[in-house]
Amino acid sequence: LAWTYRTGDATDRSQIQCQPIVVKGMLYATSPQVNVFALDAATGAEIWRFNPFQLLGGQNSWAGTNRGVTYWTDGTAERILFCAGNWLMSLDAKTGQPDTAFGDGGKVDLQKDLDTEMEQFLIVSNTPGIIYQDKLILGMRLSEGLDGAPGHIRAYNVRTGKREWIFHTIPHPGEFGNETWQEEFRDYIG
């Protein structure tokens, strides 16, 4: 055994399903309470730790699963992107501090920009998403009830937090597949 790191925030009701990543000798991961941390991968020494709920306000009342973080760099800036509940967040990979140029002070509300009038949905992103160039592509976990949000896939600019594009999983009017979906939905509801 080379080293062990204890997060110190596990409870009877928490779980950890995080897949750590290692970049340039730094290990990045999330704890059971969705604290993001950076360790020296050789020694296990903690470099920094960030509790997103200090920025979001309140305690982590969201009980769920977080499967890790995503790393992005342009060769100069380095960012760690992750989700906490319905929030997408960006941290400086070297310091663990929020990237204030990203969204609203380092965070983006995933309940917004779904191309629907409602904005109060159960939306959680358990996965860290995937980076393509300067975009983070992100899916969602949603309620399966009638109050469920649309399960659209979105891409966010990693520098600004702005939504760059959206793929409507239920096609909107004028989009490919809308007519077929309308017919199938009519058949379904009778």
What would the pLDDT profile of 127-145 be if each residue is shown by its tens digit? Answer: 889 999 999 999 887 667 6
> Is residue 188 within a helix (H) or strand (E), and if so which, with residue range?
helix 178-189
Q: What is the mean pLDDT of residues 4-21?
A: 86
| Mean pLDDT score, 58-82 | 83
Q: Which of 21, 15, 25 has the alpha carbon at shortest distance from 81?
A: 21
Residue 160 has pLDDT above 80, yes or no: yes
Whole-structure pTM value: 0.85
| CB-based contacts of 178, cutoff 8 Å, min separation 6 | 171, 172
CA distance 112 to 94: 29
pLDDT score, position 86 = 84
pLDDT at 190: 53
Residue 63 pLDDT greater than 50, yes or no: no
Q: How far is CA 143 from the centre of its chain?
A: 17
Q: In the predicted model, is pLDDT for residue 189 greater than 60? A: no
Three-class SS of residue 178? Answer: helix
Q: How many whole angstroms separate alpha carbon 141 and alpha carbon 32?
A: 18
Work out the number of other CB atoms within 10 angstroms of the CB of residue 30. 27
CB atoms within 10 A of CB 11: 9
**Strand-pair partners of 38:** 28, 48
What contacts 27, CB < 8 A, 6 or more positions away? 20, 21, 38, 39, 40, 41
- Binned at pLDDT 50, 70 and 90, residue 165 comes out as very high
